[in-house]
Structure 1
């Protein structure tokens, strides 16, 4: 019996075929997208990547410890929630943080996080942009603003 198996493998004329790896399966239900569908998908991707920041260049406070006019808007057409942090340029001190601001929401008045003396304060508003699903930061943009404390 052993000799028969030896004879079979030695005199076998067909080559043994070894197949390795995966191959792309045949197409089933997939259909080619129309030009209109492709343009719609492309526009959706472009719209999702758009971001407009809106902030008035001047925030006015009667005194440094009372609510004043600070206008920040996250327009409804933006795809991302934001957080806006304002820091004084000269010192780097953070004087305001908006907290989460979803698209379609705005801030018209605010109280600073620390009391400022009378004067004008050049500052920077940093808009941090977050992914609405994962809540992870996706990027940031900045704008100049002047904080005016009148008394």
Structure 2
């Protein structure tokens, strides 16, 4: 077999594997259900927020941008996790973030108040689950900066990997 033929076969195999890998990541993505901001970066999306108790016809939806790592990791021997939570500067409200394990409801982390423009790349989990993949929910509690009353909550699914 000639070198050109071997190179062609290798190229076709690499292309097929690349398409299969890309298809797996897209079909498993939970982010498809969210509306992305025009200038979105990895892990950033917007969702409509409403004041609890208001019906849809009482108020036009407003938007609040959140930042979170959809696939954070933590080592079993350490509690430092790359959750990468943030409150982008375009938001006007404050936010507090909790990470809750879906299967037990256990709270793994709760942040301090984040003002617009503040973020935490790494957080210390209160407890680290057993090794493996765990579905969790990042709950963004949005607060009015004037009276510090909670306005709403926004939830984002994350897949926590414990190594």
CA contact (8 A) 2:85 2:121 kept: yes
Q: How does 1:111-150 map to 2 (within 5 A)?
A: 111-150=124-163
For residues 145 and 134 of structure 1, the distance between their equivalents in structure 2, rounded to whole angstroms, comes to 30
Report the aligned-residue RMSD: 1.2
For residues 97 and 77 of structure 2, the distance between their equivalents in structure 1, rounded to whole angstroms, comes to 19
CA contact (8 A) 1:83 1:99 kept: yes
- TM-superposed CA distance for 1:149, in Å, is 0.9
Question: TM-score, normalised on structure 2?
Answer: 0.59
For residues 94 and 68 of structure 1, the distance between their equivalents in structure 2, rounded to whole angstroms, comes to 14
CA contact (8 A) 1:65 1:114 kept: no
For residues 77 and 101 of structure 2, the distance between their equivalents in structure 1, rounded to whole angstroms, comes to 14
**1:57 aligns to what?**
70
Q: If you compute each CA radius of gyration, which structure gives the higher value, 1 or 2?
A: 1
Q: How does 1:100-111 map to 2 (within 5 A)?
A: 100-111=113-124
- TM-superposed CA distance for 1:105, in Å, is 0.6
Q: How does 1:3-14 map to 2 (within 5 A)?
A: none
Question: TM-score, normalised on structure 1?
Answer: 0.64
**Residues 57 and 64 of structure 1, relative CA distance in 2, 3 Å threshold:** farther
* Unpaired stretches in structure 2, ≥5 consecutive residues: 1-61
* Unpaired stretches in structure 1, ≥5 consecutive residues: 1-48
Report how many aligned residue pairs link the two structures. 102
| Deviation string, structure 1 residues 58-78 (Cα, Å, up to 9, x no partner) | 111122533121111100010
- TM-superposed CA distance for 1:95, in Å, is 0.5
| Deviation string, structure 1 residues 38-88 (Cα, Å, up to 9, x no partner) | xxxxxxxxxxx4311111101111225331211111000101110011111
